[in-house]
Amino acid sequence: MAAEEKDRPQLSVTAIRNGTVIDHIRNEATFKVADILRLDREEEVVLVGMNLPSGKVGRKGLIKVESRELTPDEVNKIALIAPDATLNIIKDYAVVGKRHVELPDSVEEIVRCINPDCVTNKQDVPSRFDVIRSTPPSLRCAYCERTMRSGDFVLR
């Protein structure tokens, strides 16, 4: 280790006792994931980091949320926005579970169809999409068959 690295002060991020850590978020998607989780309303400890060094992607985002496990809908939304993200479940400061986010074969009521003439936008019909490809995510509306790529997604 070079002398200047050895003398450099270390930054530390507080560990959480119980909760969820979302790691390997594409840097530009970090605040979108925070919005999905409505972290601005969270009353427990929340840590959001961006521009963290990553051997895989150069820079990444990281979110830690104390005392919270994610719902399947939240995980599906994160998979649409940050398909390379990993979820770490923390119990008593230790990682007890780790998995990559994965999209199911279809998603319901989490994305709005971009076709203004789709029945889901004209009537009270829940949206449903078939996942055509998961990385990068691509969806096809089950009603109008419009295909959407990740940049098109409007989350409900």
The rounded average pLDDT for each run of 10 residues, N- to C-terminus, in the chain (156 residues) is 58 84 94 94 94 87 96 92 94 96 92 96 95 89 95 85
Please name which of 23, 8, 153, 18 lies closest in space to residue 94, comparing C-alpha atoms.
18
Instruction: Tell me the longest C-alpha to C-alpha distance in the chain.
Output: 66
Q: Where does 8-152 have alpha helices with state H?
A: 30-36, 72-81, 119-122
Residue 5: what pLDDT? 55
Residue 14: what pLDDT? 80
Residue 139: what pLDDT? 96
Return the SS3 of 145: coil
Residue 156: what pLDDT? 78
Please name which of 86, 76, 129, 126 lies closest in space to residue 106, comparing C-alpha atoms.
129
Residue 34: what pLDDT? 96
Residue 150: what pLDDT? 83
